[in-house]
């Protein structure tokens, strides 16, 4: 029997009662109430800061403008609150106490749901890594020698993680054309996206003590959608020998709703076979592959549907590798999967792959084409997953619109050396 909420939930809503993702919202209602925590249910947001009288555990945490205080309490607290919320929203006896604290979702402003401590980005899709190898190293093996032995990653910039809807200003930087003698400076002309999935850490760990794959669910609070905007021309010139830097650190957009890990129990699947067998610290008795169906849209045209179930490295393996040297976790640490791409051309998660580095531009519904993003373009990512009771749950969306570059200090203007 399917669990149903007394709150009306439209058919195919991302937010049935089987989901209950957490977010931070505010409302221009004249009360001056600051941003606080809520959960999405149907077309509403339930204000958790007002539910202390209804017996909600840790209600004081939800008056904070970030989920970090609650996330720090750990898995036992997360499960207790989730169970209580499910009861409040499914048992008619609680309706009178809870209903006054439901706010229409179209009347709220959503904020970055957690304070980001550290940000790490991985490169966990074999199809994406292979595509890039074929583009940039056509006469060599597509994967680097280390790729099948460890989840490759790099540290990003926590301060440029932004919530969905935040404009993305076209970055400026050094770029060098292959036939140029020296680099020039100007706005990126190869602005790209990366459709990714992100994992939000709640429970910290001790410095010097690695986190095992088996303890993944004890530390990771939930999952978000991620668009890791990328300036491919800036990246290409700077990344040797130390890897991504300014070509990545100008903006990373995340969805405003954090889907609890427990809501994704029905989405767990076996990941692709790993060959060679990983080293012992990367092995999983019960692997954390996830069957998430993603969608990439540009200006209203759906360009691709990347399948997260094809990711070679799992989120638990990424966490284990991230801490195997003794690096500690902090509440609010955030790590992303890297671009999600499948084996088919319409399953690629970046313009670099979709347009094969500009040689096969993609066509939009209005007849225009894109090798890379133009100013004014809006990119939106969505995803759904199997949920309890046979329903599908969703992540909402993460969206951003490209704004023109701004002049850099000491330059004659961002378009000075367009290449």
* Helix-, strand-, coil-residue percentages of the chain, each rounded to 5: 25, 25, 50
Can you tell me the distance from the alpha carbon of 42 to that of 362, in angstroms, rounded to the nearest whole number? 35
Residue corresponding to tokens 């997260």? 308
Phi, psi of 227 (to 5 degrees): -115, 105
Task: State the Cα angle at 204 between 199 and 209, rounded to 5°.
Answer: 110
Contacts of 396 (CB under 8 A, 6+ apart): 14, 15, 21, 40, 164, 225, 255, 256, 257, 382
Buried b (16+ CB within 10 A) or exposed e, 9-40: beeebbbbbbbbbbbbbebeeeeeeebbbbbb
Lookup: tokens for 208: 């010097």
Q: With the C-alpha atoms ordered 26, 28, 32, 33, is the resulting torsion angle positive or negative?
A: negative
Q: Is residue 323 within a helix (H) or strand (E), and if so which, with residue range?
A: helix 315-323
Phi, psi of 196 (to 5 degrees): -135, 170
**Annotated catalytic, 128?**
yes
Can you tell me the distance from the alpha carbon of 235 to that of 237, in angstroms, rounded to the nearest whole number? 6
Omega of the bond leading into 91 within 30 degrees of 0 (cis): no
**Residue-wise DSSP of 162-227:** EETT--EEPPEEEE--TT-SS-EEEE-SSEE--EEEEEEE-S---TT-PPPGGGHHHHEEEEEEEE
Can you tell me the distance from the alpha carbon of 230 to that of 173, in angstroms, rounded to the nearest whole number? 12
* Burial of 256 (C-beta count, 10 Å sphere; 0-12/13-18/19+): buried
Catalytic residue, from 128, 149, 219, 321: name it: 128
Can you tell me the distance from the alpha carbon of 340 to that of 354, in angstroms, rounded to the nearest whole number? 12
Asked if residue 194 lies in contact with residue 220, where contact means CB atoms within 8 angstroms, the answer is no
End-to-end CA distance of the chain: 61
Lookup: tokens for 269: 């699947």
- Residues with a catalytic annotation lie at 128
């Amino acid at each position: 029997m399917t669990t149903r909420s007394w709150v009306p939930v439209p058919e195919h809503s991302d937010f049935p009662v089987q989901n209950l993702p957490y977010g931070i919202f505010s409302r221009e209602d004249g009360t001056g109430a600051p941003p606080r925590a809520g959960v999405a249910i149907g077309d509403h947001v339930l204000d958790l800061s007002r539910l202390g009288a209804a017996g909600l555990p840790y209600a004081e945490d939800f008056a904070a403008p970030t989920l970090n205080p609650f996330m720090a309490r750990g898995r036992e607290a997360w499960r207790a609150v989730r169970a209580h919320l499910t009861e409040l929203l499914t048992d008619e006896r609680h309706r009178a106490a809870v209903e006054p604290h439901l706010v229409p979702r179209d009347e709220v402003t959503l904020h970055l749901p957690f304070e980001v401590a550290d940000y790490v980005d991985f490169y966990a899709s074999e199809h994406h890594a292979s595509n890039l190898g074929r583009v940039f190293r056509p006469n060599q093996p597509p994967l680097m020698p280390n790729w099948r032995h460890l989840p490759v990653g790099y540290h990003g910039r926590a301060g440029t993680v932004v919530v969905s809807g935040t404009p993305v200003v076209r970055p400026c930087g050094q770029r060098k054309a292959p036939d140029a003698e020296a680099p020039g400076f100007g706005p990126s002309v190869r602005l790209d996206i990366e459709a990714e999935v992100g994992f939000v850490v709640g429970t910290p760990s001790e410095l010097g003590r690695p986190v095992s794959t088996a303890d993944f669910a004890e530390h990771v609070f939930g999952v978000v959608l991620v668009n890791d905007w990328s300036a491919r021309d800036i990246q290409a010139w700077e990344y040797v020998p130390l890897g991504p830097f300014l070509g990545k650190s100008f903006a990373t957009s995340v969805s405003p709703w954090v889907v609890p890990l427990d809501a994704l129990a029905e989405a767990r699947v076996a990941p692709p076979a790993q060959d060679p067998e990983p080293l012992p610290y990367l092995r999983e008795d019960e692997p954390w592959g996830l069957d998430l169906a993603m969608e990439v849209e540009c200006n209203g045209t759906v360009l691709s549907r990347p399948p997260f179930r094809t990711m070679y490295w799992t989120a638990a393996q990424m966490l284990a590798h991230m801490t195997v040297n003794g690096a500690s976790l902090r509440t609010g640490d955030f790590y992303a999967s890297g671009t999600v791409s499948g084996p088919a051309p319409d399953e690629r998660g970046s313009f670099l792959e979709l347009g094969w580095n500009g040689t096969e531009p993609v066509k939009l519904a209005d007849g225009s084409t894109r090798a890379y993003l133009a100013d004014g373009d809006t990119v939106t990512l969505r995803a759904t997953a199997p949920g309890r009771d046979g329903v599908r749950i969703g992540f909402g969306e993460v969206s951003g619109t490209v704004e023109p570059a701004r002049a850099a200090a000491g330059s004659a203007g961002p378009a000075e050396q367009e290449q």
